[in-house]
């Protein structure tokens, strides 16, 4: 098939299609453009509500922490103790209460040390915090899913440049996660092998979209990628969650994360603090069920099409289906080039 002409690619994780339109890459653009700031961040900002020793808007004061620090979000999207018995069902008007907890994880006490600037050993510690919070929150009887994510950069609505991520743990399995789980389960029941295990084998055989790899992890542009420079990190040994990683594998994951976020900065010509992306970790739910179909994986969705242009998901993308101009193969070559 000629991939330089319009075609659709199937996403088996989400059971949906994406329209690829390579011929649109050279169309003229007179819309919104983005410019990076050259302002350097201090190591400590007295006005930052995440820096050590500072008072947050809730009135609580951060301890003089060093390294990583987590706390319950002062403006949580979920509340603990909400009654799971409260439901509303009136024909097509259906609702139910939701309980959960939201946490903030500071990656470093230094205001200007993003993941791209931290040494691998510090990223290994961050992974350790993620695994500990997944384990502890997931052990609660009212928590069936733990979503870990990070928003970096103004383009994705990051509220503070201080290096941090978030954890939302809740009673229900979120819709997008359930969609992935259902499709992985269907595949596993049919093939007896996790979907992403076989997918990685195909990617390794073709070697067209892999941008980085070490002995334990592979970083690649998914064949069905929606965002122009979307990346996924997959383990070579199938594990269902961060808690199953061995010490050496955690170090290799830290290296993979570091390479990924640094590549985005080079690709978009941004400082680490300004490099825009959103990252999410998908792993097994904590619902006391066995999820042999699942594979731990990381999604990275940077919003940029070029260093100065954002990719806007509007129009056809909102009302038709996902669409991209840059082919995943070309995106992979561009990212790999920045990795040296």
Nearest to 323 by CA among 314, 332, 331: 314
For residues 244 and 240, give the distance between their C-alpha atoms in angstroms, rounded to a whole number: 7
Superfamily for domain range 42-338? HIT-like (3.30.428.10)
State pLDDT tens for residues 30-79: 566 666 666 789 999 999 999 999 999 899 999 999 999 999 999 999 99
Average pLDDT value for the chain: 94
- What is the reported pLDDT for 279? 98
- What is the reported pLDDT for 339? 85
- What is the reported pLDDT for 87? 83
- What is the reported pLDDT for 308? 86
238 phi/psi in degrees, rounded to 5: -70, 120
The stretches of 103-174 forming alpha helices (DSSP H) are 120-138
Residue 238 pLDDT level (bands cut at 50, 70, 90): very high
State pLDDT tens for residues 3-20: 889 999 999 999 999 999
Provide the angle, in degrees to the nearest 10, between the axes of the packed helices 195-206 and 175-191.
80
Residue 85 pLDDT level (bands cut at 50, 70, 90): low
State pLDDT tens for residues 102-159: 999 999 999 999 999 999 999 999 999 999 999 999 999 999 999 999 999 988 888 8
Neighbours of 179 (CB within 10 A): 15
Catalytic residues: 164
For residues 278 and 39, give the distance between their C-alpha atoms in angstroms, rounded to a whole number: 22
Q: What dihedral do alpha carbons 279, 152, 129, 241 form, nearest 10°? A: 0
Mean pLDDT, range 330-336, rounded to an integer: 96
The stretches of the chain forming alpha helices (DSSP H) are 120-138, 175-191, 195-206, 247-268, 316-319, 328-338
State pLDDT tens for residues 269-303: 998 889 999 999 999 999 999 999 999 999 999 99
In contact, 80 and 146? CB cutoff 8 Å: no
Q: Where are the domains of the chain?
A: 42-338
- What is the reported pLDDT for 229? 97
Sheet of 16-20, strands arranged across = 7-11, 16-20, 322-324
State pLDDT tens for residues 17-30: 999 999 887 766 55
- What is the reported pLDDT for 81? 77
Does the structure show a pLDDT above 80 at 208?
yes
63 phi/psi in degrees, rounded to 5: -70, 170
The whole-model pTM stands at 0.95
For residues 178 and 186, give the distance between their C-alpha atoms in angstroms, rounded to a whole number: 12
Does the structure show a pLDDT above 60 at 309?
yes
In contact, 304 and 319? CB cutoff 8 Å: no
Q: What dihedral do alpha carbons 306, 310, 315, 321 form, nearest 10°? A: 70
3-class secondary structure, 244: helix
């Amino acid at each position: 098939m000629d991939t330089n002409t319009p075609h659709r690619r199937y996403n088996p994780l989400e059971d949906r299609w994406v329209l690829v339109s390579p011929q649109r890459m050279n169309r003229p653009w007179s819309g919104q453009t983005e410019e990076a700031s050259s302002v350097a961040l201090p190591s400590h900002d007295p006005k930052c509500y995440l820096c050590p020793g500072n008072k947050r808007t809730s009135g609580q004061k951060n301890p003089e922490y060093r390294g990583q620090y987590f706390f319950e979000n002062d403006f949580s999207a979920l509340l603990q103790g909400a009654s799971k018995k409260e439901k509303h069902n009136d024909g097509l008007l259906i609702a139910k209460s939701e309980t959960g907890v939201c946490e903030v994880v500071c990656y470093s006490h230094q205001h200007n040390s993003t993941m791209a600037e931290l040494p691998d050993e510090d990223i290994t510690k961050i992974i350790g915090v993620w695994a500990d919070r997944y384990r502890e929150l997931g052990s609660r009887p009212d928590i069936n899913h733990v979503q870990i994510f990070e928003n970096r950069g103004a383009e994705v609505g990051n509220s503070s440049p201080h290096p941090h991520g978030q954890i939302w743990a809740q009673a229900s399995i979120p819709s997008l996660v359930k969609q992935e789980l259902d499709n992985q389960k269907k595949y596993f029941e049919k093939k007896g092998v996790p979907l992403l295990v076989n997918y990685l084998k195909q990617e390794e055989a073709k070697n067209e979209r892999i941008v980085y790899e070490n002995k334990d992890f592979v970083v690649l542009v998914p064949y069905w990628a929606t965002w122009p420079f979307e990346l996924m990190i997959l383990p070579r040994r199938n594990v269902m969650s961060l808690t199953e990683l061995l010490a050496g594998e955690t170090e290799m994951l830290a290296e993979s994360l570091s390479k990924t976020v640094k590549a985005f900065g080079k690709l978009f010509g941004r400082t680490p603090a300004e490099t825009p992306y959103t990252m999410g970790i998908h792993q097994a739910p904590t619902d006391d069920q066995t999820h042999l179909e699942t594979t731990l994986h990381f999604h990275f969705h940077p919003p940029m099409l070029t260093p100065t242009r954002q990719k806007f998901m509007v129009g056809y993308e909102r009302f038709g289906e996902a669409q991209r101009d840059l082919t995943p193969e070309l995106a992979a070559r561009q990212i790999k080039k920045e990795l040296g």
